[in-house]
Amino acid sequence: MSFRLAPGSLPWVAAPFAASVLVYPMSSALSLILLLVTAFMIHFHRDPERFPEGDGMVSPADGRIVDADEKHIYIFMGPMDVHVNRSPLDGVVRSVEFRSGEHSPAFRHPLKNAHSIIDIESETGRFTLKQISGMAARRVVCWVSPGDRLKRGQRIGMIRFGSGVIVTAPPGYRITARRGERVRAGQTVIAERSE
């Protein structure tokens, strides 16, 4: 079983590890704390392989669904969740926009926070995916650009240190996931074809 870090994550792991080595001659206790920080960074930036459970629209994020209606799902990602986001369906990226904002807790008024908006055109129509920063999350990372062709479950970005994702269902899809449900990015089906 292979282990991989999310793209661009090596500096986040290497910095506390290097610091732990440098401070060890002066303070073994501080060195141990920095090694624990290194372990957390490795855990946080992990990027496991995922395979869809069915034929429907898959979750774009790990976490718990804190809000859901007929067309929208809001997934809150805690610090211990995998923070790599994935495309819910095959499609073409039509636009990517970043909006600056606050860094409040992501479970309260999330769209007041800094967030990206990825507009994707699927086989049945357009839908959007919003990557939302949280109180500790200071960076939303988007790895796709307009014109990119996406496969269902493909990695499209990540958000560091607590955040949320809002996704809409495109025409022809019915949301089946429910509030309180835990979901896994690229794996858990959250909406199915209604036509």
C-alpha triplet 87, 65, 1: angle, nearest 5°: 55
**In the numeric block, which tokens belong to residue 147?**
């014109």
Residue numbers annotated as active site: 163
